[in-house]
Amino acid sequence: MSTLALWLSIGGAGVVTFALRLSFIALLGRMEIPPFLGRALRFVPAAVLTAVVIPLLFYENGTLEVSLGNERLLAGLAAALIAWRTRSVLFPSSGAWRRCGRCRR
C-alpha cells in the first residue's frame, strides 16, 4: 500500500466515523428518547468494555486459559481488586501493569 493510499484510508475512516457520530447526535438531539431506552442505553458502555476485555483475559493462543499461569488474567484480577477497593480509574491500570511485570520475572 502506498503512502498516499494509507493516508486516504485513514482520512476516509475518520470522515465516516465523524459522520456516523454526528448523525446520531443530530438525530437524537431533536427527538425524545423513551425512558426504557435511556435506561437500557446506560449499560452499553459496560457491555462493550466487557465484550472486549474478557476474551483478552481468558484466552491465550486461541484456547481458554484459566490458570495461575495466565499473566493477563492475574493482571486483570489485580486491576479489578484495586478498582473495587479504590473506586478509581488510574490506580487499577498501574496495579495491573505492576502485576504483569511481576509475572514475567
- What are the pLDDT digits (tens) for 33-78? 889 988 998 999 989 988 998 898 888 888 888 888 888 888 888 8
**Is the same domain home to 100 and 50?**
yes
* Residues 6 or more apart in contact with residue 9 via CB below 8 angstroms: 1
In the chain, how many domains are there? 2
Q: Which domain holds residue 98?
A: 35-104
Residue 8 has pLDDT above 90, yes or no: yes
105 confidence band (pLDDT: 50, 70, 90): very low
**Is the same domain home to 44 and 18?**
no
**Is the same domain home to 44 and 91?**
yes
**Is the same domain home to 24 and 39?**
no
Helix (H, G, I), strand (E, B) or coil at 44: helix
**Is the same domain home to 9 and 55?**
no
